[in-house]
Amino acid sequence: MGHAENLPQHLKFDDDEKHDIQPAKSVVLQHRATLKPIPDPVDYTSFVCGLFAGVAQAGVFNPYDRALYLSVKHHRPFVSWQNWKAPYTGFVQSISGRALSGGLYFPLEHLFLHLMDPDKSYARGNFLAGTAAGAMNACVLNPLSAIKYKTWGRQENRGMWTEATGMLRKSGSLRPFLNGLRSTIYRDVMFGGCYTWLRLQIQWWFQLQPQEQWMANLFAAALATIASGPFNYVRNIQYSTKSSQRSPCTTQVLRELVHETRQYPTSYEQLHFLQQRLRVGWGTARVAMGIAFGHSVYDWLHVNMKQH
């Protein structure tokens, strides 16, 4: 049974109406995308749009990202002035990482949604599209992220090449570049699946127009961030490990987090501790705003480039 047969009566169209509502010049990627695979294939313009969206996101949010990381590493409040000194340290690494991240995740999600099997549940297909995009993104970008986080832990930016060779020399292997890989995959799979599924479900539930999609993206990104938060915490701990040392495994970090949480006598204090450690609040707001902003830039660029 096709998905269109499950539509509410007021949303069904006859054959003439279906032809009347097709866009003349471009395909709107997101409107009612959960009903069927996205018809517009991915080409080089999709990755160009993603790169520009990533650059814009990096420029706007780099000070926020660095402050958030330092607050976790040094166990101090996010708003502490020490976190905001030299806000663009590591910006070159961040902008390249964000550009690649945007250049990969948004088009990859687009690609997997385009390949989604129309004979299967569209909700399940959306979830799988997000998890696939997240997994590929994590594997490609983890080495660059490991270098970037090292630069954030320093007062002076030594440059990407100098940092990478220093990591290699101290460890004598490629191990520092693999720090956080497994937890990054866990995090991005969890985030990608939840984000893509939820944002398109919200779009369908409320029949949002393309110009309203940012609201669904914002809310979906916030909830997906909370769901993937424990793995992001593990990732930060592993990235902060010295190059000469072996980083703790995901299970070890999570067990220590649970042990620390149980030291507090009341449920309220335990939840407050977890909220602080997992940065539910500042971290959630950062990801939600960043994803909504980046996705809006990507969609706007994609539609306008297609028109020309």
The pLDDT tens digits of the residues spanning 238-254 come to 777 766 677 788 899 99
Query: Would you say residue 2 lies in a domain?
Result: no
Q: Left if phi > 0, otherwise alpha if psi is -120 to 50, otherwise beta: which for 32? A: left
Query: Would you say residue 68 lies in a domain?
Result: yes
Instruction: Report the domain count for the chain.
Output: 1
Question: For residue 7, what pLDDT band results from cuts at 50, 70 and 90?
Answer: very low
Query: Would you say residue 221 lies in a domain?
Result: yes
Query: Would you say residue 10 lies in a domain?
Result: no
Query: Would you say residue 167 lies in a domain?
Result: yes
Q: What is the model's pLDDT at position 25?
A: 38
Cα–Cα dist 122/145, whole Å: 33
For the stretch 64-118, pLDDT in tens is: 888 887 887 788 888 889 889 888 877 776 676 667 776 788 999 988 988 876 5
Three-class SS state of 76: coil
Mean pLDDT on 8-21: 44
Residue in 97, 17, 10, 16 with CA at minimum distance from that of residue 58: 97
Q: Kindly report the CATH number assigned to the domain that includes residue 130.
A: 1.50.40.10
Query: Would you say residue 260 lies in a domain?
Result: yes
Residue in 161, 61, 49 with CA at minimum distance from that of residue 107: 49
Within 10 angstroms of residue 138's Cβ, the number of other Cβ atoms is: 26
Least confident of 150-154, 235-239, 300-304: 150-154
pLDDT surpasses 90 at 197: yes
Question: For residue 175, what pLDDT band results from cuts at 50, 70 and 90?
Answer: low
Query: Would you say residue 64 lies in a domain?
Result: yes
Dihedral of CA atoms 161, 65, 184, 42 in degrees, nearest 10, equals -90
pLDDT surpasses 50 at 28: no
The rounded Cα 32 to chain-centroid distance in angstroms is 22
pLDDT surpasses 90 at 220: yes
Q: What is the model's pLDDT at position 37?
A: 56
Host domain of residue 232: 34-307
Q: What is the model's pLDDT at position 158?
A: 61
Query: Would you say residue 23 lies in a domain?
Result: no
Least confident of 119-133, 220-234, 290-304: 119-133
Q: Is residue 245 a contact partner of residue 167, using CB atoms and an 8 Å limit?
A: no
